[in-house]
């Protein structure tokens, strides 16, 4: 990927030199670098705030409540996985963090879930569980998509929260389609 980026940059600079637009390219490079730093600082503040909220929710037991609410659904997906296991706990915490749009807070739980799933004795079940978890994590159903709301707020959206319904709908569709195909492929693989 680094080679592709270097080639694109080199081609852009060479084209700018021959087309007489090198001043515009250099101005754009400087301005966008400054904008990128401002955006990073803006997003960092929002992510720190929401990570703090997530930590308070975790300490206050709200994430455990969310985990208990979603555990019946997860037992349907992860049939045979002990609901009191470390793997299921980590999966529930990961999904709870994703519900709140906190991908950064969800990542450590996702890594822990994969480690715990890898420890399972039955390799075929463990592989299936890992695939199901990846699908769940990738679909990332978000009740509060904090990063999108922050970006829309940063760029002066009239209603930064209006993204909620389409965000939830698209992540639900991707979840159901992903789980459907993961189960289908798992059953096909087991028949072989």
Q: In this predicted model, what pLDDT tens digit does every residue of 16-38 receive, in sequence order?
A: 888 888 888 888 878 888 888 88
DSSP per-residue letters across 154-182: HTT-S-GGGGHHHHHHHHHHHHHHHHHHH
Helix, strand and coil percent figures for the chain, each rounded to 5 = 85, 0, 15
Q: What is the mean pLDDT of the chain?
A: 82
Q: What is the pLDDT of residue 38?
A: 84
Smallest CA-to-CA distance from 106 within 153, 154, 67 is with: 67
> If you compute the radius of gyration of the chain from its CA atoms, what whole number of angstroms results?
22
**Taking the domains of the chain in order of start, what are their residue ranges?**
48-191
Residue 116 scores a pLDDT above 70? yes
As a whole number, mean pLDDT of residues 157-170 equals 86
As a whole number, mean pLDDT of residues 161-182 equals 87
* Cα angle for residues 148, 154, 157 (degrees, 5° grid): 75
Chain-centroid distance, C-alpha 116: 20
| pTM score of the predicted model | 0.66
């Amino acid at each position: 990927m680094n080679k592709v980026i270097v080639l694109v940059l080199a081609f852009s600079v060479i084209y700018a030199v021959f087309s007489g637009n090198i001043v515009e390219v250099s101005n754009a490079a400087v301005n966008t670098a400054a904008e990128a730093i401002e955006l990073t600082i803006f997003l960092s503040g929002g992510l720190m705030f929401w990570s703090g909220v997530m930590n308070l929710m975790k300490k206050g037991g709200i994430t455990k409540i969310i985990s208990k609410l979603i555990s019946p659904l997860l037992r349907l997906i992860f049939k045979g996985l002990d609901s009191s296991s470390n793997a299921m706990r980590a999966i529930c915490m990961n999904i709870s963090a994703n519900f709140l749009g906190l991908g950064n807070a969800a990542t450590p739980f996702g890594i822990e879930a994969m480690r715990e799933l890898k420890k399972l004795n039955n390799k075929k079940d463990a592989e299936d569980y890992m695939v199901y978890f990846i699908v769940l994590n990738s679909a990332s159903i978000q009740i509060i998509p904090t990063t999108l709301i922050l970006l829309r707020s940063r760029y002066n959206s009239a209603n930064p929260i209006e993204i909620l319904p389409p965000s939830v709908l698209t992540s639900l569709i991707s979840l159901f389609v992903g789980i459907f195909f993961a189960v289908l492929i798992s059953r096909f693989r087991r028949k072989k």
